Structure 1
């Protein structure tokens, strides 16, 4: 916002300088026509010659009034031209320096990122991805080729690289080796396949989510290494259909997932080595009784156990899908990280 105000102020000054030069040319031309009886062409030529300090000397003044007016024109015109030239120089130099400094500062921030998300393509789909990542407080780097989109995202405070996401060096600049994940939301499936191949080649461990428009592109993206392939059209159509068939259920789910202000949240909790939850069943772990959170599913070795039984044992490496209020989820995170076991639920 401050940068925009500064540019606006400088623009007003430049417009004023242009008007001042035009006014000087008008006054100089009219004055020489009155004092020296020059023709319009001669008067205009002499005025330009004077205020630009060229001074060819090919036109001679004859009257004292002409000499006096010429002196005033020299002083005033030269001042106006110097002021205008200074503004133009400041505009060019400040713009270049600010741009270079801004890029250097942004590159340093990108170099310091760890476990961030790279978003390739900031169009209709990519924009929503970036906005959601910011709402969740997750660091991300945007790679976009369209200059106007790049300018908009920079003004909104995002880290942006203005380049082609299919190039190895660009992904390296975005920190692909340190990134947790990459979302490629480019408008063409072929480009998303290429980005996926490039990203997996540079960092085989990075999680890649790819956009697809054509159904036949899904297998190609999966073969290229994408961990998840999503079609905005299919997903949007499914949500629209379910909103008609089961409006209340869909509204609740969307509120839980998408409303950032609501207290109820869904969380993924990884059961790490040494956690007090390891070896406990869901009923004996005390998760529900002492934190209030509800385990919706367990992801184990890429197999999903939906609505797990209370007798299901929690193993190291399990990913618990948990629903609860924010404070309940925070409490569960703290407990899961400890080696002290929760108090078992009371019998009966």
Structure 2
């Protein structure tokens, strides 16, 4: 709608210019007189205070009445539709949304709200993490606005659009556009604007993985590969897969996975899993430890925790919340006080 109004307004300005110059040429009027009679003609007011003197003036006025009045009526019609259909309220809503986006910190930008992007967006909301959606298709963007998401209806490959989404302040970006070439372009643009941002990219073709990684993607995901693996395992190991799906996806159970970073000053440093108090105090279970580029799966109770470790923890939602509190308190306690 905004673009159509802009084009109609440009056509109106051209009509005013065309009419003014034409009357000055054919009827030898002054600039003020020509502009006044042009406005008088295209608005169909017709005060009758001027009589056309030349044949060329008559021909020109006929053209101006037919073309100019049509342009004027089209512009007025668009403005009425803009007001009646609530476009002003929409414009106010967009300004309000833009203000909310400007206030975000450490959010995630999702490029593309199609089949894959939609699931990403819903999962982020379930996890309670703020996100900004960039979607070029107007109807789909409006659908997510209606659901209460922060949405930018534009092309995610453009620098200004990513800046508008707050890429300088964002924690990560997920590009789930339907074409691999577009995902490569978004990745390159995002890394150029914010080299520290974490980028997860969707790929459809296997040969695109290296291109996405070279473009700067930190992780490349293929929905087709994941879907195929899951379908195969559902046939080969149906009970195991059903259990995992129930544990991870069933909201009634509330089982979740959390990442816990062991930062400098934490009293977990130097302690083993058995003496850390994590299992005893929270009931949560350490699935793995990410240490530098090495993954220690199913670590033993005697595994020592060192600074910089990333603990992968599985537990009920309440247990993980308790673990966050315990971990925060552990940084304030002396080693003798832990147990």
Shorter-normalised TM range:
0.7 to 0.9
Aligned: 1:92 with 2:75: no
Q: 2:82 & 2:185 partners in 1: Cα distance?
A: 38
Report the counterpart of residue 34 of structure 1 in structure 2.
none
- RMSD in angstroms over aligned alpha carbons? 2.3
Aligned-residue offset at 1:274: 2.1
Tell me what 1:149 maps to: 140
CA distance in structure 2 between the aligned counterparts of 1:89 and 1:215, rounded to whole angstroms: 50
Give the aligned partner of residue 233 of structure 1: 224
Counterpart in the other structure of 2:207? 216
1:321 to 308, 312, 315: 312
1:112 is matched with 103
1:88 Cα deviation (Å)? Answer: 9.2
Partner of 1:74: none
Deviation, 1:257, is 2.2
Question: How is 1:163-202 mapped onto 2 (pairs within 5 angstroms)?
Answer: 163-202=154-193
In the alignment of these two chains, the number of paired residues is 264
SS in 2 for 1:141: strand
> What's the CA shift string for 1:21-77, capped at 9, x where partnerless?
xxxxxxxxxxxxxxxxxxxxxxxxxxxxxxx999xxxxxxxxxxxxxxxxxxxxxxx
Matched, 1:133 2:124: yes
Q: Cα distance, 1:273 vs. partner?
A: 2.3
Task: Give, in angstroms, the shift of residue 89 of structure 1.
Answer: 6.7
- Which segment is superposed worse, 194-203 or 285-294? 285-294
Q: Deviations over 1:69-97 (max 9, x none)?
A: xxxxxxxxxxxxxxxxx999765325231
Describe the SS at the equivalent of 1:179. Answer: coil
The answer to whether the 8 Å contact 1:135/1:260 transfers is no
Per the TM alignment, residue 336 of structure 1 is displaced from its structure 2 partner at its CA by 1.1
With 265-274 and 238-247 compared, the bigger mean Cα shift is at: 265-274
In the TM superposition, structure 1's runs of 4+ consecutive aligned residues that sit over 3 Å from their partners are 86-91, 341-344
Q: Is the 8 A contact 1:276 1:337 kept in 2?
A: no
Partner of 1:289: 280
Residues 229 and 290 from structure 1, CA distance in 2 versus in 1: closer, same or farther, beyond 3 angstroms?
same
Runs of 5+ consecutive residues of structure 1 not aligned to the other structure: 1-51, 55-85
1:110-143 Cα deviation digits (max 9, x unpaired): 0011111100011111111111111111111111
Say whether residues 1:123 and 2:121 are aligned partners: no
How far does the alpha carbon of each residue in 1:220-270 deviate from its partner, in whole angstroms, 9 at most, with x for none? Answer: 101111011000000000011111111121122122222333232211111
> C-alpha distance in 2, partners of 1:315/1:329?
21
In structure 2, how many angstroms separate the alpha carbons of the residues matched to 1:321 and 1:176?
27
Q: Which runs of 5+ in 2 are unaligned?
A: 1-43, 47-75
Range 150-159 or range 91-100, more displaced: 91-100
Alignment map for 1:233-312 (pairs within 5 Å): 233-312=224-303
Q: TM-score, normalised by structure 2?
A: 0.73
Q: Which has the larger radius of gyration?
A: 1
